[in-house]
Amino acid sequence: MKSRILIVDDQINAIKVLSSILTQEGYEVFETRDVDSAINILQQNDIDAVITDLKMPGRDGMDFLHHLLKHYPDIPVIFLTAYGTVENAVEAMKMGAYYYFIKPPDFNQLKGILARAVEQRRLKREIELLKRQISRDGYCRIVGNTPQMLRIYETIDAVKDSLSSVMIVGETGTGKELIARSLHYNSKRRHRPFVAVNCAAIPKELLEAELFGYERGAFTGAISKRIGKMEEASDGTLFFDEIGEMELSLQAKILRVLQEREIERLGGNKKIRAGFRLICSTNRNLKEEVRQGRFREDLFYRINVVEIHVPPLRERREDIPLLAVEFLKEFCVREGKEISFTDDAMRALQEYDWPGNVRQLKNAVERAVVLSRSGLITLNDLPEEVQFFKKKRAGRISSSCKTLKELEIQAIRDALRECEGNKSKVARMLGISRKALYKRLKELNISTQGWT
């Protein structure tokens, strides 16, 4: 696309000469003889640079510069005038003019200056675009246009700068941490730390030390001082992932920190300010956990000021193609391939229930890209459970053949077989946590004998 240059000069011959030169250079040139007309052109066109006379009847070049700095501060302004003085030049440059030429200019120099001005504006716009993308990746690549997701975006915008705690609720693999990161990176705290703690992944006996930190000699093996996660998150955001896994004794200590806004390292007695904003997530029903006595009621109400419910993928099927294409782009870049989905494969992705949600979908797309030997991802490139579900929906397999529960059992058994019983690999393949896998093995009475 050609760069657009606006020339403003009350001398028609000066306009014609300059316009001809710049047109030959490949620019799209707009011409006008007064400031009011120039403003009208700016309102209707995306102009990349302005070349303007200083002395003109009516509103002069300085008036025009004031208008540009107020309404179009990113557009470079080059003055071209027969009435140049050192004072004019200094005043214009101090105000923000890009360059200042005396008529008649050295046109080769003018072309060079103009090219540099246009390129600088282009780079500035690209940087601003990247900043917005980062801010949206503030929305951290959250993808979705369904009403449920739009409500989540609205909630993020509403509470991003609040000090109130947020609880993000949803099944495993729905992207709860992405929501938490969105809240942080769209907030005023974006330049401060975002510290994530997976309460389900850290052994219970180590979690307290991980959170509070410790002084040297606090316990056997504490050979040096260590800053805890809560202190590390100072003035930023602390994210407790799967807080429902936290022990009751530690819950009481966390509650005290939230009430006092102070922490003490293990083995120390110095009070340290706890200035973090807290965001939590869970795949459990914490109200039921409270009723069962497994989660403190007072802590629940402290951390659940604002609740964001992240729907499972099966409840927002319209977003599946958007997510699949996003993941496809990511893995094609990584693998150096150019691949697209066939219509049949995309329909299969959209029809499948995805028990592991977005994480499982991403895993399936990655697998398909890695294994693909052509420029297309077909139904046969998708995981067996997706293929089977598609064929069953299409009526090629009798509806009385297997129930949904049996399909899940079959999918887990197939994964166990493919991964030779390695449960960590099975969990990754299915897009669920290792703990969730063990739970399903127990609930579905699936024996791992023979694969372990």
For the segment 112-123, what is each residue's pLDDT rounded down to a tens digit? 999 999 988 887
Structure-token pair, residue 439: 């739970």
What does the pLDDT look like over 341-375, one tens digit per residue? 998 899 999 999 999 999 999 999 999 999 888 88
Structure-token pair, residue 178: 């992405």
Q: Tokens 């992207």 — which residue? A: 175
pLDDT attached to residue 278:
97
Give the helix/strand (H/E) hosting 193. none
pLDDT attached to residue 404:
60
d(CA 225, CA 41): 65
Q: For the domain 314-443, what is the CATH code?
A: 1.10.8.60
Domain boundaries for CATH 3.40.50.300 within the chain: 147-311
Structure-token pair, residue 227: 């800053």
pLDDT attached to residue 129:
56
Domain boundaries for CATH 1.10.8.60 within the chain: 314-443
Residue 173, sorted as left (phi over 0), alpha (psi -120 to 50) or beta, turns out to be left
d(CA 328, CA 367): 10
pLDDT attached to residue 128:
63
pLDDT attached to residue 428:
76
Under-50 pLDDT residues of the chain: 134-139, 396-400, 452
Query: What class has domain 4-134?
Result: alpha beta
Q: For the domain 147-311, what is the CATH code?
A: 3.40.50.300
pLDDT attached to residue 235:
92
pLDDT attached to residue 391:
66
Sheet containing 99-102, strands listed edge to edge, beginning at the edge strand earlier in sequence: 28-32, 4-8, 49-52, 77-81, 99-102
- Rounded to the nearest angstrom, the gap between the alpha carbon of residue 410 and the centroid of all alpha carbons in its chain is 35
- 88 and 62 in contact (C-beta within 8 Å)? no
Structure-token pair, residue 315: 């409840």
Q: Looking at this protein, which amino acid is placed at residue 329?
A: K
Domain boundaries for CATH 3.40.50.2300 within the chain: 4-134
